[in-house]
Amino acid sequence: MEYKTDLLILGTGIAGLSFAIKAAGLGSVAMVTKKDKTDSNTNMAQGGIAAVYDKADRFEYHIADTLTCGAGLCDDEVVRFVVEEGPERIRELVEWGVEFTRSASDPGQFDLGREGGHSMRRVLHAKDLTGREIERALHEKVSRQKNIRIFENHIAVDLITKSSVLGRKMERGDCCLGAYVLDIASNEVHTFRAKFIMLSTGGAGKVYLITTNPDIATADGIAMAFRAGAKIANMEFIQFHPTCLYHPDAKSFLISEAVRGEGGVLKLRNGDTFMEKYHPMKSLAPRDIVAKAIDTELKKSGDECVLLDITHRQEDFLISRFPNIYEKCLEFGIDMTREPIPVVPAEHYLCGGVMVNSWGETNIERLFACGEVSCTGLHGANRLASNSLLEAVVFAHRAFMRFTGIFPGVREDPIPIPPWDPKGATESDESIVVAHNWDEIRRCMWNYVGIVRSDKRLERAQRRIDLISREIDEYYRNFIITRDLLELRNIALAAKLIVACARMRKESRGLHYNIDYPEKDDRLWRKDTIPACEDLTAS
Ligand code: SIN
């Protein structure tokens, strides 16, 4: 079946939804999401959205904190406009019905939280369920717009470009025409033809064994964009969140940095504090420093976790400020008001992604990218906490401004798009291959391409991922596609891109730490890593 729409949006997190709400005024919008429409990384965001609201705060301070965190790789101009346009975008979210927590002493003001790397209180939040509140309000707004249709349980297989239709190699000025999309329930692949395509598919958490991300974070947008010929950058900058709940039955539950912002202190299992050895901001140091410090301490002590202690704060305060974390910990028998929370670092955020300009455009015409899938220049080598929701709304707006300018002049490309060709694929009788490779990639990435890297570990990772990728490609060619197989193919490609970028960067900077090059090298490496197809071929 062929669907036609003016705008195709892949993903239903904050980036896709806020873009859809605006763009629907101009034309028809189809949104594709592989699970339920509320399954997104945004929905899981606890901390909040950073912006200058405090009277004592200044744009210059937020800019300086972002640049310091980004370790020399941020794009100064991008940082400036994201910070300066932030408050306006937040006013818009409030207008759309998002209810951020208000200050107890002055309900006219927002309650501003503090997180690692921020010199001021500037994190707007909805208790510790900020993402869920944003998604609630945006979905309500979308549901009132007739021009938007959401396709749940549909997963994009690949982007369709003019060169792919003509059977040519990607060339300059190539243009995106839509995407092939699998309807998971019926197992049919449909063609979605669109004048514009927005990738807002989120990050790549599931590339790693331990992650704070939900199951949907399988790097689909990045992998599809790379296969289509889009430029991908800085994939080595994987942010590990220092504090994920450590419990055998807890699946990737984040303990927000806001807990440390409200006074939580990291301790070893014997009760000793340790962050003073690593940074003057102690437990509130930037994330890369805290995660690396925990990793070092765990390797030294042989313990499996460290502790996060906030028992010195009032019980009432903790329950009202962190209702979600409090309840979740209780489910696992941990009362955070009386005992410290066991925590470990976990993959949390991808700072690299599909390269875009200041208007969210990729190097492929009519293909935009926004949110965690994109690499805008805001985060550089390390993202400042709570800057990601901010980036998503600012870039969704900028992409909309660009879209407004070009949409009226664009006609549908008359080139016929062939329907999806399964090429004689048959039903697989060996699903174990998918399950096994899935597990192997994630374990390999966790062990060899984690917080502390070395040339040897990266080489090992590349050899293994190459081998697994060849097996996956063969499987993909021969068997009928399923959601699991598509996701596996995508995490394998994302893993290759991460390893390729990590091997290129012969220095340590921000989130990339290689013991063979422990220093930052501004002379040679103050630049992005942009892998080409050749960089991904087997060693
Ligand atoms: C957190 O709540 O700690 C996460 C916030 C973020 O990653 O920006």
> DSSP letter string over 268-301?
-TTS-B-GGGT-TTGGGS-HHHHHHHHHHHHHHH
CA distances from 242 to 255, 282, 372 (A): 9, 13, 19
Q: Are 176 and 468 in contact (CB under 8 A)?
A: no
For residue 477, what are the β-bridge partners? none
Q: Specify the ligand 1 atom closest to the Cα of 239.
A: 7
Local structure of 179: helix, strand or coil: strand
CB contact burial 398-422 (16+ within 10 A = b; e otherwise):
bbbebbeeebeeeeebeeebeebee
CA neighbor of 237 nearest in space, from 535, 459, 525: 525
508 touches ligand 1 (CB under 6 Å): no
Angle subtended at Cα 325 by Cα 323 and Cα 327, rounded to the nearest 5 degrees: 65
- For residues 155 and 12, the answer to whether their CB atoms sit within 8 Å is no
Q: Is 176 helix (H, G, I), strand (E, B) or coil?
A: strand
283 CA distance to ligand 1 centroid (A)?
14
78: nearest Cα among 391, 389, 355, 367: 391
Which H helix or E strand runs over 131?
Answer: helix 130-143
| CA dist 370 → 287, 362, 509 (Å) | 23, 10, 24
Query: Token digits for 388?
Result: 């990601």
Catalytic residues: 287
Measured over the CA atoms of residue 19, residue 25, residue 31 and residue 37, the dihedral's sign is positive
What is the layout of strands, in order, in the sheet containing 123-124?
49-50, 123-124, 112-113
Answer yes or no: are the C-beta atoms of 486 and 155 closer than 8 Å: yes
Residue 213 near residue 347, CB atoms below 8 Å:
yes
Each residue of 103-152: pLDDT tens digit?
A: 999 999 999 999 989 999 999 999 999 999 999 999 999 999 999 999 99
CB atoms within 10 A of CB 453: 23
Measured CA to CA, the distance from residue 283 to residue 309 in angstroms comes to 11
CATH of domain 2-236+351-408: 3.50.50.60
Is there an atom of ligand 1 within 6 Å of 13 CB? no
Q: Could you please report the per-residue DSSP string of 414-481?
A: -PPPPPP--TT-B--S-THHHHHHHHHHHHHHHHHSSSSB-HHHHHHHHHHHHHHHHHHHHHHHHB--
In the CATH hierarchy, which fold is given to the domain comprising 431-536? Methane Monooxygenase Hydroxylase; Chain G, domain 1 (1.20.58)
Nearest atom, ligand 1, residue 50 CA: 8
Residue 42: its pLDDT value, please? 76
Nearest alpha-carbon partner for 353 in 238, 449, 212:
238
Q: Cα–Cα–Cα angle for 255, 395, 238, nearest 5°?
A: 40
Instruction: Count the helix, strand and coil residues of the chain and give each as a percent rounded to the nearest 5.
Output: 40, 20, 40
Q: Whose CA is nearest to atom 2 of ligand 1?
A: 47
The predicted pLDDT at position 43 comes to 79
Nearest atom, ligand 1, residue 48 CA? 5
Quote the tokens at residue 4: 């036609």
Centroid of ligand 1 to alpha carbon of 257 (angstroms): 6
Q: Is the CB of 386 under 6 A from ligand 1?
A: yes
Residue-wise pLDDT tens digits, 329-375:
999 999 999 999 999 999 999 999 999 999 999 999 999 999 999 99
User: Residue 383 to residues 313, 378, 526: CA-CA distances in angstroms?
Assistant: 28, 8, 16
Closest C-alpha residue for ligand 1 atom 5? 47
47 lines ligand 1 (CB under 6 A): yes
Distance (Å, whole) CA 524 – CA 520: 9
Ligand 1 center to 47 CA (angstroms):
5
Domain boundaries, the chain: 2-236+351-408, 241-346, 431-536
Residue nearest to atom 8 of ligand 1 (CA): 386
Rounded to whole angstroms, how far apart are CA atoms 110 and 375? 30
Listed in sequence order, the residues at least 6 apart from 392 whose beta carbon sits closer than 8 Å to its beta carbon are 13, 14, 15, 18, 42, 200, 370, 371, 372
Round the CA-based radius of gyration of the chain to a whole number and report it: 22
Q: What is the pLDDT along the chain (539 residues), one digit of tens a residue?
A: 999 999 999 999 999 999 999 999 999 999 999 988 777 777 778 889 999 999 999 999 999 999 999 999 999 999 999 999 999 999 999 999 999 999 999 999 999 999 989 999 999 999 999 999 999 999 999 999 999 999 999 999 999 999 999 988 877 779 999 999 999 999 999 999 999 999 999 999 999 999 999 999 999 999 999 999 999 999 999 999 999 999 988 888 999 999 999 999 999 999 999 999 999 999 999 888 999 999 999 989 999 999 999 999 999 999 999 999 999 999 999 999 999 999 999 999 999 999 999 999 999 999 999 999 999 999 999 999 999 999 999 999 999 999 999 988 888 888 999 999 988 888 887 788 899 999 999 999 999 999 999 999 999 999 999 999 999 999 999 999 999 999 999 999 999 999 999 999 999 999 999 999 999 999 999 999 999 988 886 44
Q: Give the pLDDT confidence score for residue 537 in this predicted structure.
A: 63
| Whole-structure pTM value | 0.95
User: In a 10 Å sphere around its CB, with 0-12 CB exposed, 13-18 middle and 19+ buried, how is residue 285 labelled?
Assistant: buried
Expressed in angstroms and rounded, the spacing between residue 45 Cα and the centre of ligand 1 is: 7
Q: Which residues contact 233 (CB under 8 A, 6 or more apart)?
A: 352, 353, 355, 375, 501, 528, 529, 530
Task: Report the nearest atom of ligand 1 relative to the CA of 243.
Answer: 3
23 and 204 Cβ atoms separated by less than 8 Å: no
The answer as to CATH 3.40.50.620 being correct for domain 241-346 is: no
Sequence-ordered strand ranges (E) for 96-205 = 112-113, 123-124, 148-151, 154-161, 176-183, 188-199
Residue 165: both structure tokens together: 């239709």
Dihedral sign, Cα of residue 67, residue 72, residue 77, residue 81: negative
Q: What residue type is 1 in one-letter code?
A: M
